[in-house]
Amino acid sequence: MIQIRYVILSILLIINISLGDKTSTEIQEDINSRNNELESLKNEIDRYEVLINEKSKQEKLNNEVITQINKKIELTEKLIKRLTDEENYISKQIYKTKENIEKQEQELFVLKNQLKNRLRYLYKYGKSNLLKQITQTNDWNKKIYRTKYLEILNEYENQIKIKIKTNLNDLMIKKEQLEKEQQNKKNLIIEKNKKFDSLENDKKLKSSYLLKIKNQKDKLEQDLFSKKEMIEKIEKIIKKLYSDKKETKKREQELARIRANKNKSTSGNFAKMKGKLTWPVNGKIIGKFGIHKNQELNIYTENLGIDIQTAANEKVYSVLDGVILTITNIRDYGDIIILDHGAGYYTVYSNLKNIIVYEGQYVDTYTHLAEVAQGTNSNYNNKNIFNFQIWLNQGKLDPEEWIEK
């Protein structure tokens, strides 16, 4: 009777054995969720990496690049923190998995001992001896008691075998899980170290770009100063020419005489040419006339004419006949020619070299005057840029409205 009770209690103990707090499926789902969050962060960092690379290929850097680098640094620091959290999480999982493996191995040890005791019992008493006792007795209470005892023994044996098999499978799964967790931790440490390196590189890149932007701004400020100087100088020349009424009248008479000798109209010639003037040079307009806001310095600048990008050594021509009024030089903007067309109209040709005309010379329409020089300021960026202006008395006109389309 005591043996049967002992066996029943053993069976109940086996049935109630716990295999761990979380199943491997739940753990994997938790890991997958964390991995999705990490991937989202990585994708965001990659997006900013592309933007930074695109901006870096441009000729000029601006504050937008710094904003993007700052955002990438912020996301990288966030990712490193998440990777550290993930590393700590996996370390805890490794600790729990090791605990579960140890517990599982202890339970397996108990089950194997129970099976061993069961086999020892069968060896000592045997099932056939118990069956013989059941068939030979005439006492029905003993028959029922011994039959029940045999059923419990069989159930006990089956439960032990099932539990051993289950424990062996679970133990194998947990060991595989442990290997995976250890590998994940190793990969995380490698990735985190790479992100630390990337973070340091981004900080160096930021410092480098800030220095470049500062240098660009310093040069731009110098160029704007030179441009302002050019504007003031040209305005001063035009004002002086306009204010000297006697000299102006003399030039008008001389121009009228020359035109009369060449059978050209003596007045209003330029005014009738709006939208019909020949281009002073072959190229494309890259700088518009008028006032523009400089985004880098947040200030407004004025272009007295239009900027035309040309090929190297491109020839410059007069847009209409007139007299070479002035040939001068302005720092960073090269040699300049001012041509008087009469009736208060002047054209200005700047950033020149190899000038082949002289002051006081009459030139016909489309006369070769000079060649376009290579720009030296950051606005021209060492390109061949020609600046062309049209004036009426002391007022500036938009050349695009005057040259032929």
Domains of the chain: 2-217 (no CATH), 263-401 (2.70.70.10)
Q: What pLDDT shows up at residue 399?
A: 96
Helix (H, G, I), strand (E, B) or coil at 322: strand
pLDDT score at 159? 72
DSSP, res 282: S
Find how far residue 65's CA is from the centre of its chain: 8
The SS3 of residue 317 is: strand
State the pLDDT at residue 394. Answer: 81
State which amino acid sits at residue 4: I
Give the per-residue pLDDT at 126: 52
SS3 category, 176: helix
pLDDT of residue 209: 77
CA distance 73 to 80: 10
**Strand, helix or coil for residue 39:** helix
pTM for the predicted model, two decimal places:
0.53
**Average pLDDT score over the chain:** 75
pLDDT at 124: 59
pLDDT of residue 349: 95
Size of the chain in residues: 405
Quote the pLDDT of residue 107: 76
| Among 322, 281, 326, residue whose Cα is nearest residue 305 | 281
Q: Which of 340, 337, 336, 338 is nearest to 322 (CA)?
A: 340
Predicted pLDDT at 4: 42
DSSP string over 287-310: E-SEEEEETTTTEEEEESSEEEE-
**CB-based contact 216:296 (threshold 8 Å):** yes
What pLDDT does residue 375 have? 65
pLDDT tens sequence across 156-204: 667 767 777 777 777 777 777 777 777 877 887 888 788 888 878 888 8
> How far apart are alpha carbons 370 and 361 in whole angstroms?
14
- For the beta carbon of residue 132, count every other beta carbon within 10 angstroms: 11
Tokens of 172: 């194998």
Compute the distance between CA of residue 160 and CA of residue 157 in angstroms, rounded to an integer. 5
Residue 336 CA to residue 313 CA, distance in Å, equals 16
Helix (H) or strand (E) holding 137: none
Ranges of residues in the chain whose predicted pLDDT is under 50: 1-20, 59, 131, 133-135, 140, 143, 145-146, 266-267, 377-378
d(CA 154, CA 98) in angstroms, rounded, equals: 34
CA pair distance 201, 199, nearest whole angstrom: 5
3-state secondary structure of 386: strand
Q: Quick one: pLDDT at residue 217?
A: 72
Nearest to 7 by CA among 111, 163, 154, 152: 152
